[in-house]
Amino acid sequence: MDNPSQQAGPPAPDNPGPFRLQKVANFGTGEPWVARIQLGISEISMPAFSTPEAHKEFNDAWFTAGLKLGEAFGTLVDLRRITADPETPTLDLSRSYNSFYSLLWAAYKDRWQTAMKLMGFDMGFLFVPESKFESKFAEFALAHPNLPIDALKQMAIDDRRSWQNKLGEYRNQEIEHRAGNQAVEFFENMKSTEVSFANVWHTMEDWAVFAIGESVKPPMYIFTVPKAERDPAKPQKFKLGFDTSALPVPKESK
């Protein structure tokens, strides 16, 4: 019988070289935000770019935003665990909430804006004071006349008023400067934490789909996968389709 050690190949070297496999996270593509943000947007975004190099630059920036969002999600998972334990010290809770909201805001306001600019979408109007919103959005509307501008403006107004402005104020005033306002009670609980995370990643996805859709031309189109038909292992919402009926019909040969 052959010696099993001789079939196994040479032993691993003491120095494996500059690369090694390392686990990135304790969650995967089964999480809807991972499937739809990290994978889905990257997979449908090619029509928005004229060269593979430009597409890669966007994907790198988008992936960076997704990584920061992943850090926030990791902290959210930790919060689910420690808030269920009545013995968790209040300082540990406060530190975890602060970390979560700081990471979430960085993913949204900083990393996401950078990626969107690479698709020609300057999202600065979302983050300006109320007095400057109209003029900044007018600049955006002028740059994108083929989009459903009225609907997008209302979407931006609703998001700013219902959650974004409050989240920004909490992050800037309470976490950064400890202003001591009522925002602490509003945000430092699991319901607000879960809702804030969902609000951010859904907004990131919605605007990215509009940006990509601006460049998609027939016979290509973006379609929504019905919820019941999404793969549980990778539940992507948006995909690219190809409408063959829009192609010219070849003439019959004589």
Q: Average pLDDT over the chain, rounded to whole?
A: 89
Dist CA 75 CA 77 (whole Å): 5
Rounded to a whole number, what is the largest CA-CA distance in the chain?
Answer: 85
- Give the tens place of pLDDT for each residue, 13-24: 555 556 565 556
User: What's the pLDDT score for residue 251?
Assistant: 66
Does 51 have pLDDT greater than 70?
yes
CA angle 28, 76, 68 (to 5 degrees): 65
Dist CA 170 CA 182 (whole Å): 9
User: What's the pLDDT score for residue 182?
Assistant: 60
- Give the tens place of pLDDT for each residue, 204-247: 999 999 999 999 999 999 999 999 999 999 999 999 999 987 66
pLDDT band for 64, please (50, 70, 90 cuts). Answer: very high
Does 175 have pLDDT greater than 80?
no
Q: Give percent of the chain with pLDDT exceeding 70.
A: 84
Model's pTM, two decimal places? 0.86
Q: Does residue 202 or residue 23 have the better pLDDT? A: 202
CB 236 within 8 A of CB 39: yes
User: What's the pLDDT score for residue 173?
Assistant: 80
CB 225 within 8 A of CB 234: no
User: What's the pLDDT score for residue 17?
Assistant: 58
Structural domain boundaries in the chain: 27-244
Tokens read off for 179: 């202003």
User: What's the pLDDT score for residue 183?
Assistant: 72
Q: Does residue 60 or residue 3 have the better pLDDT? A: 60
The runs of H, that is alpha helices, within the chain are 4-7, 32-33, 42-44, 52-83, 90-105, 113-117, 130-143, 149-159, 165-169, 183-187, 190-213
- Give the tens place of pLDDT for each residue, 130-160: 999 999 999 999 999 999 999 999 999 999 9
Does 9 have pLDDT greater than 50?
no
- Give the tens place of pLDDT for each residue, 66-108: 999 999 999 999 999 999 999 999 999 999 999 999 999 999 9
Mean pLDDT of 20-41: 85
pLDDT band for 7, please (50, 70, 90 cuts). Answer: very low
